Amino acid sequence: MAKVTQKLAALQDIDLLISERKAEEDLGFSTAGLENLEEARAKLAGEVDGRFLRMYERLSKRYDRAIVPVVGHRCLGCSLVVPTSKRKSGEDRATGALVTCESCGRILFFV
């Protein structure tokens, strides 16, 4: 997995934790640790190339999970079979471009 994909996956984990905390806050629970999460998020976001970050942000507005694994050759977001050419390249190493699902547009990673 390329570094940018790893970082985006980590960013998504943090975002999911943050939204869980915020939901707890709405229920009246303490939000201890939320600041730390937001700090970690900002730091990580700063390490991701701007165009990939914007792509992630845009997708995460549309989906709960903007970045999903390919399992059994299928995009876990929409179940479309990922074409062999994309499976082979995994990620375009020359440009560092991300691989996205042709159907739903989510960022894919290969496990």
Contacts to Zn ion by CB under 5 A: 75, 77-78, 80, 101, 103-104
The whole-angstrom separation of Cα 5 and Cα 25 is 30
The pair of three-digit structure tokens given for residue 88, joined into one six-digit string: 């082979």
> Cβ closer to Zn ion: 10 or 76?
76
In the complex with Zn ion, the residue whose CB is nearer, 14 or 70, is 70
Least distance in angstroms from the C-beta of 97 to Zn ion: 17
H or E segment at 109? strand 107-110
Least separation, in Å, of the C-beta of 70 and Zn ion?
A: 9
Report the residue number, 55 or 101, with the smaller CB distance to Zn ion.
101
C-alpha distances in angstroms, 59 versus 28, 29, 35?
Answer: 29, 29, 24
